[in-house]
Chain A
Amino acid sequence: MSVELAEIRDFVAPLPPFSLLDAATLDALPKQLAVRYLRRGSDFPPADEAPALYLVRKGAIERRDAHGSLVDMLAEGDVFAAPCLGGDGSDRCTAVEDTLVYLLPCPALQALRRAQPAFDAHFAQSTAERLRHARRGTAFGADETAADPLAQPVGAFAARTPVAAPPTLSIREAAQRMSEARVSALMIVDGERLAGIVTDRDLRRRCLAAGLSPEAPVTAIMSAPVASIGPESPAFEALLAMTRLGIHHLPLVDAGGVRGLVSSTDLLRRQGTATVHLARRVRRCASPAALTAAAGELPELQLRLAAAGAGAAQVGQALTAIYDAVSCRLIELAEGELGPPPVPYAWAACGSQGRHEQTVHSDQDNALVVHDDYRPEAHGAWFAALAQRVNDGLDACGVRYCPGRVMASNAEWRQPQRAWCDYFAAWIGQADQRAAMLAANFLDLRVIRGDPALLAPVHATVVRECAQHELFLARMTANALANRPPLGFFRNFLLEHGGAHVDAFDIKRGGLLPISDLARVHALAAGRAEIGTLARLHAVAGGPTLSAEGAQELAEAFEFLGGLRLRHQSAQLRRGETPDNLIAPAALSALERAELKAAFAAIGRQQAVLAQRYAVGREV
C-alpha cells in the first residue's frame, strides 16, 4: 500500500537530520507533524504552540539576536530545532514572507532520537565530530584510507621483520645476509641506533666496480647518515620524502628504535605513482617551456589524487611538493644562464605554498632573502634577473602572478637579511593595517631553495618578539577577523552578515583563509614556529589561548572546507573549466549545506573568542 501523505514524506526525506532516519520511520513521520500558516510579519514560533521542532515548507523566517543583528534566515527545507534543544529563546524570529511550517512536537522528537542513533548523533555530536563524520562519510565518497592505501601509516607497508645487521659485518657477510633474506637493502644498526644503509647498488658501485675487498667492513660502503621517517606517518609522505631526496629506501624509526624499511617500489606498487613521476619529470626539464608542459599535468594529478580519496591536506602536500620542484628547477635553469650567484641567498615561498596548502588555483607568493654582503650596485642586476625569470616561469606554469605583487621580482621583497629584520621590526612596532597584513603574509615564509640559515634567525627572532607584543597580536587579530564566514544559506544564496544575499561563496576567503589567519595568531601568541595551518592548530591546542575543543573544531572545519574545495575543483576540471574557489550553493546537497553551516558557525565562534581576548571590535 502506498504511503499516505507521500508528498510530505518526499519533501522531508532528503532534509538533514530526517535523511538519517530509516525508511519505515520516515514513512511514519508525516503523521506526527502538524501544519501552521504564518502571515508575513507574524512572530515565530507562534506563541500558542508548545515547544516543537519547526521545518519550513514554504516562505521565509528571519532570526535576529537581542541586539537586532541578523543571525540567520530560514527558508524552504530549513529546520529550526532550538525550542527542543534548550535554546535560550533570546532570538527574535519573524516570518518575512507568508510561511507554511511543519511542526514536530518536542516529545516526538525525543522519541525519534531514542529510537534512531544516527538521527540522535546529529543533535548530540560536537561540530568537530560532525564535520569529521561528514568528511569520512558519504559527502566525499569512500573512507579515505580504504580509497587510498597511501593514506595509511607507512608502517603498514614495511616488510615483516626489519632486515638489519651490525656494523661489524664484512661486505661479503652483508651480501650473504641480503641474498638469504631476498632483500635489496640492508640496514646497519648499532645497538638501537641506525648507523647506515647498504643497497644492491652500493655493492656494485662502491665494492665491485671500485675493486674493494669483500672482506672490508660493510661500513666502508654504506650510506650514512640516513634519512628516516616515523612508522605512523602517512605512506604518502614517505614517498614524497624519497622523491625529494632521490632515494629508493627509507628506514622507519621512532623513539623506540628501528622499526622497518620501505622501498619506493613497495609503495608505488600500491598507488600514487603519478606524484613521484611528475616530480622526477620536473627535475629533468631542460627549459622553462618544458616545465610549463610538465606543470600542465598538475590539474590531472589533483584530479587523480582527489578521486583516489586523498584528503585536502595530502593533496596540498603533493601539489606543493611539485610546485616546489618547479620553483627549484626554474631557479637552477636561471642560474645556469646567469652564472653562479654573487652572494648566497635563499628563495622563499609564503602564502599557501609556504603553508604546504597549494591547489591548482593558487597564486604565487615569494621573496628573496640575500646575504648581508649584498651590494645593490654590484649584485642587484643578477638577483633582479633571477627573480624575473622565476616569477615569469611560475606564471607560465599556471601559478599566476600575485595581484598584491608579493613576489621576488618586486624590489621591496628582494632584500638582504638585515633589511628583512628591519621590515619585521617595523611591522611589529607599527599600528596600521597594512603592516599587520604584510606581517601575516611573511610569517608564512619557507625556504625552498638556497641557504635556510639566511631566514631561520629572522624567523626565530620574529616569533620570539611577537609573543611579547600584545598590541601587535591585537592588530594581527583584527587582520584575522577581516574575512568573516557567511551566516548560512537562504534558498540558493549565501546569507552574509547584514543580510546581503550572494549567489556564490569564495570558500577560500570566507572559510579557509579565516582559519589559517586564526591559527597564525594563536601560534604567534604561543611563540610557536610551525607554518602549516593544521600544524599550528595542533601545536597550540589546549594552550592558554585556544581550547583543545576549539582547535579540533577549527582543524576539522579546515579539512572539511578543503575537501569541499577539492571536490568543487575536480568537478570543474572534469567539465574542462578553469578551477576556482567559488562555490554555488545550488550545487550543494542539503546535507552539505548543513555541514558547511556548522563549519561557518565554528569559525564565527573562534573569531569571537579571539576578538574578545584582544578586545578587538568587529564590524557588522
Chain B
Amino acid sequence: MSDALLELKGLKKSYRGKPALRGIDLEVRPNEIFALLGPTGAGKSSTVQATAGLLDLDAGEIILDGRDVTDIDPAGRDLSIVFEGFNLLPVLNVFDNIAFALRSPSFREDEAEIRKRVQHTAELLRIAQHLDRDVNTLSGGEKQRVAIARALVRQPLMFLLDEPLSALDLKLREGLRSELRQIHREQNSTMLYATHDYHGAISIADRIGVINHGRILQSGTIEEIFERPANAFVGRLIGSPAMAFFDAALDGDDIRIKGCEQILPAGQFALRSNIRGEFELGVWPEDIRITDAGSGASSASVYAVDNRGFECAVQIDYGAGLFRKVLEEGQLLKQGETCGFRIADGAGFLFDKSSGERVSHQIEGAR
C-alpha cells in the first residue's frame, strides 16, 4: 500500500548491544491518529525518535509522504514533536517557545505572520493570556499546552506525540486528550501517538499498533484487534479488564482447560492439522458468563470484588488461576461466594505457549 503518509520498514536499533527495535513495520495513513501502544521499554520512544530523525538506525527505511527520509536531518522532515516531560526551552518565554520553529532557518516566517499564527494557536489552546510568561512559572498542564501549541503552529506534515499527557493527572489528561482529538478533526492532521495507557489509546486513536520488545505485534482498529488478536501479549494489553487466560490442552477432539469442568470442542478453533499439545486459551471477559455452580459450568469462587458504583468488576478464582471480569447488569456477587462460569460458544483464542502467536483460526475459517 502506498497511500500511507508514514511508512516504517524494518527499523532496527541496538543500544550497546541491547536491541531496542527489532524490525518495526508500520504505516500511518493520512489524517488518522495512530496510537503506538506498549509497556515501558517496548520501543515506543525509539520508534518516535527514529521517525523524527533523532536516532541513528542500524537498519530500516522511513518513507514520509512518498519520500525516503531515512538519511534526512530532523530539520528536513517537516514534523512536530511533543515529549512527555521536558518540552519547553527555559531560555525563552512562552511566546518565543511557540514561535521557535517559525524563526528557524528551515521554517522561517516574517514576524507579523509569526505574531498572527502564535496568537491564533495560543487562543486555540486557551493559553493566550500566558504568552509573556516565563515558562518556569507554568503548571504542568499549561506547559503541555504550550508544547502542543508549538507543534501545531507550523502545520507540519505530521505530529509525533511521545506520551504527551502521561505526566499529567487524570482529569487534565482526559481534558487535553479530547481537545487534541478536536484539533485533529478541525485541522485534518496526522498523528503518531505513543502511549502505555490502553484507555488513552482507544479514546483518541483511529488505529492502534501494539508494540512489545521492539516489534509491532499487531496493528489495526480496536474492533479488528478484538476480533482476532494476533498474540497473547495483545490480549494482555487490550481490554478492560484484559483477556482471561487459561492453560489448555488438545485431547483428541476436545480442548481441556486446566481447573475447569467445561470442555470446548476443538473443531471451533479451526486448528491446523499439525498443531497439537498445550496452549494458552485466551478469552475476552465479555465472552465469559458467570452462572450458578453446576450444570456443566466450571466451578469457581469470587476472589475479590471491585464495586465501581456504575458497574462491578470481580476477580474469579477457578482453582488453577484468576481472571477479571465486569459483571453484567443486575448481577451481584460477594467476596468468597462460590459460582460457576461458562465460556461462550465459539469464543476464545488459542495461543502458542512459547511464542504467544495465535494458532486458532476460527474467524478466518468462518469467512
Chains A and B are bound partners:
no
Interface residues of A (CB under 8 A from B): none
Interface residues of B (CB under 8 A from A): none
